[in-house]
Amino acid sequence: MTELVPGGNVPLPGGILTLRVPGPFDVSALITDDGGKVRGDSDFVFYNQPTASGARLQGEQLTIDPLALRAGAGRVTVVISSADPAIPLARLPAPTLYVTGPGSRVLARFTPPRPQRETVLLLAEIYRRGGAWKLRALGQGYADGLAGIARDFGVDVAEDTSAPVGAAGRGNTVPDSNGQARQVNTAPYSNGQAGRVNSVPDTDGFLGLVNSARARAGSPPVSLDARLAAAARVHASDMAARGVLSSESPDGTSVYQRVTSTGYAYLTVGEHLVSGPRTPDEFVEYCLSTEQSRRTLCEPAFSQAGLAYVADRSGDLYWTALWARPFSPGELARTASEVVALTNAERTATGLRPLAVDLLLTNAAQAHSDDMVARAFYSHTSPDGTQPWDRAAAAGSTRRSIGENIACGQRSPAEVVLGWMNSPGHRANILKPAFTHIGIGLAGGGRMGTYWTQLFGA
């Protein structure tokens, strides 16, 4: 059985497939052509229309016979939503997709990141590649229900005006509210060390494609960095050799640790791990096809990038794109100040007084982020048993009341503050009236990217 990550794919055997999502979920499916559009409403399989040519829905179980799909069908997208519309996905257990082939052999399993604001998820797709069929894990979310997904796929939907409808939701590889994650110019970049230049030629036109997309989104251009490109190549080679998309190698080395192993110290980092596209143009087009993936490519915090692609034995290409902002003391201070500003904006919006920056709390917060990276843990409790108030006191703080938020994996101040505000416990700290002071710390280099600490005092 193959454990899939978002974007990962697995070849499928011939015969009938069974896809099952246990739990309090409604399962649906959209049958489309290779361009991702349905031919009509009959291509939408859901609880009120449980059958279509080659597809049958029975409760939590969807049966697909690829050879019996209607003429021209090249893809089946599996969708889930809450069985009770009054209960959001964020309050349900994380969904898990089980894919079974002929002979009841379990072929693959996929558990996407836990949804936040999404009301439905594109969980996976079965698609035709040449004469064979494959399964790709997705995890893309929508916040406007089945109606939003159906419209994007070309289905005419008569909306129930009593149902809440919102804006398009976030996509795949999103860190959850606790931070647990589980994707120009041609002038050379100099990191400030005399004689050391880390440029890399844009031989594939990748940079122009990326920066055109970033410009359309209002984001500054990125430049290519040789160290990021080297880390991307090592990771793409590992994925191609194993025939699986993964953010970690079998020994537990993450794609972020590959970056630091090249000597690149980053403030924030992001990635795209993709298989299938055949050219940089197709790769960038794929990265722009979903909300979260597009957000990563266009993230204003990133200033440098590296790209590599490696073919596996069958000729499929495995891509790794790395995005980062290099570390500097000035950038560290600027980023921490932005977190403070966003936090205070949330407080003032509810009528609370803004928090003042406290140097001792800042030192304690920064030390904790550094420690989580150095000792490879993620917790309010340090390996030696110290708690937030212990660390604040050790830094010299005499504040009577201490609170702490931590997160890891988020790529920007806006993303980390949004994650905290979407989590009741973290939100309570940010909006606690008694708190008067704050300190921010962040450090890059661990298994899950950037580690953030927010320390409050009164």
Element (H, E) at 230: helix 226-242
Per-residue pLDDT, 337: 96
Which range is most confident: 77-91, 111-125, 318-332? 318-332
Condensed to tens digits (0 to 9), the pLDDT of residues 173-211 reads 223 333 222 222 222 222 222 233 344 556 678 999 999
User: Which strand (E) or helix (H) includes residue 446?
Assistant: strand 437-446
* pLDDT value at 256 more than 60: yes
The pTM of the full predicted model, rounded to 2 decimals, is 0.56
Of 385, 384, 406, 382, the closest CA to residue 455 belongs to 406
Mean pLDDT check: name the lowest of 28-32, 161-165, 221-225, 417-421: 161-165
Cα–Cα distance for residue pair 453/443, rounded to 1 Å: 9
DSSP category for residue 354 = P
Note whether 317 and 311 are within 8 A (CB).
yes
- State residue 145's pLDDT score: 59
**Nearest alpha carbon to residue 24 among 50, 52, 60, 58:** 60
DSSP 127-174: EEETTEEEEEEEEEEESSHHHHHHHHTT------TTS--------SS-
Model pLDDT, residue 252: 82
Q: pLDDT digits over 97-142, tens only?
A: 999 998 888 898 888 877 776 778 888 999 988 788 999 888 777 6
pLDDT of 15 above 70: yes
How confident is the model at residue 1, as a pLDDT? 64
pLDDT tens-digit profile of 423-442? 888 999 999 999 999 999 99
Lowest mean pLDDT among 151-160, 201-210, 234-243, 412-421: 151-160
* Cα 456 to Cα 267, 358, 361, distances in angstroms: 22, 9, 7
List, in order, residues 6 or more apart from 50 with CB less than 8 Å away.
56, 57, 58
| Amino acid code (one letter) for 165 | V
**Is beta strand 51-52 parallel, antiparallel or unpaired with respect to 2-4?**
unpaired
Lowest mean pLDDT among 5-9, 236-240, 274-278, 416-420: 5-9
